[in-house]
Structure 1
């Protein structure tokens, strides 16, 4: 096999694959879902609806490194879609409602569920990234490979 390839084994719990101490994954995700700093669990994670703070006001952890981007929105779409579609099918099997009645029920429910879930899901994604030392949370800069020129 040409080149110097080395397989890196990932270890979950105990010691991180890069030699760093593993951060508590589920604790960080839970703290993020509750809108708290994934490190200390006391400081606020958000300064606005889905705008995270740059640093934790309690422990000083830098949180501006996150790259949550579109993942929280995609996860919310999947979660809300399953809830609304399953509920719609159950109601449709049990009763006969007109189209306007369905619209009156499912459109507001979809909007409300999406708005309620967006911040906790984004917090969970930020907590996940922090726990796994992703995107600058491990005190190193992200390295981006340059795009090949066309």
Structure 2
């Protein structure tokens, strides 16, 4: 079973990574840190139908854990230095990396949902079909 994309996949994801509307690439994606704009300011595309929910958070944890924490454990200074020194430094950097990466991953997630045309409306349709 092949997945068909309604719109170009990498273009949509790239626009989301850049915090731009996946439809036109010019309007802002976020109103605040992670709050998606209701509509694009340029093309008026409805952005509320692309609910990312917990997917971006899980993917961020997976990436940060494997790309930062895993290699960090290979450095002897982490094991030999005092935990009172290492812990604040490591937790500070992990917080900074996580908060920097999370909005980009969420934007890419919204871009992926746009390319697949996987919307909140689809979930309501499937729920209504199951109830019948």
Do they superpose with TM above 0.5? Answer: yes
Structure with greater Cα Rg: 1
Q: Which has the higher helix share?
A: 2
Q: Which runs of 5+ in 1 are unaligned?
A: 1-8, 17-21
**4+ runs of 1 displaced by more than 6 Å?**
none
How far the C-alpha of 1:104 sits from its partner, in A, is 2.4
How many pairs does the alignment contain?
A: 130
1:6 corresponds to which residue?
Answer: none
Moved more, 117-126 or 81-90: 81-90
Asked whether the equivalents of residues 72 and 78 of structure 2 are also in contact (C-alpha less than 8 Å), the reply is no
2:90 corresponds to which residue?
Answer: 106
Q: Equivalents in 2 of 1:120, 1:95: separation in Å? A: 32
Give the TM-score, by structure 2 length. 0.85
Give the TM-score, by structure 1 length. 0.76
Mapping 1:40-59, distance limit 5 Å? 40-59=24-43
Determine which structure has greater relative contact order: mean sequence separation of CA pairs < 8 Å that are 6+ residues apart, divided by chain length: 2
How far the C-alpha of 1:94 sits from its partner, in A, is 8.5
1:144 corresponds to which residue?
Answer: 126
* SS of corresponding position for 1:62: coil
1:10 corresponds to which residue?
Answer: 2
1:118 corresponds to which residue?
Answer: 102
**Cα displacement string for residues 7-45 of structure 1 (whole angstroms, at most 9, x for unaligned residues):** xx4354xxx5xxxxx301011011101100001111000
- Please report the RMSD computed on the Cα atoms of aligned residues, expressed in angstroms: 2.4
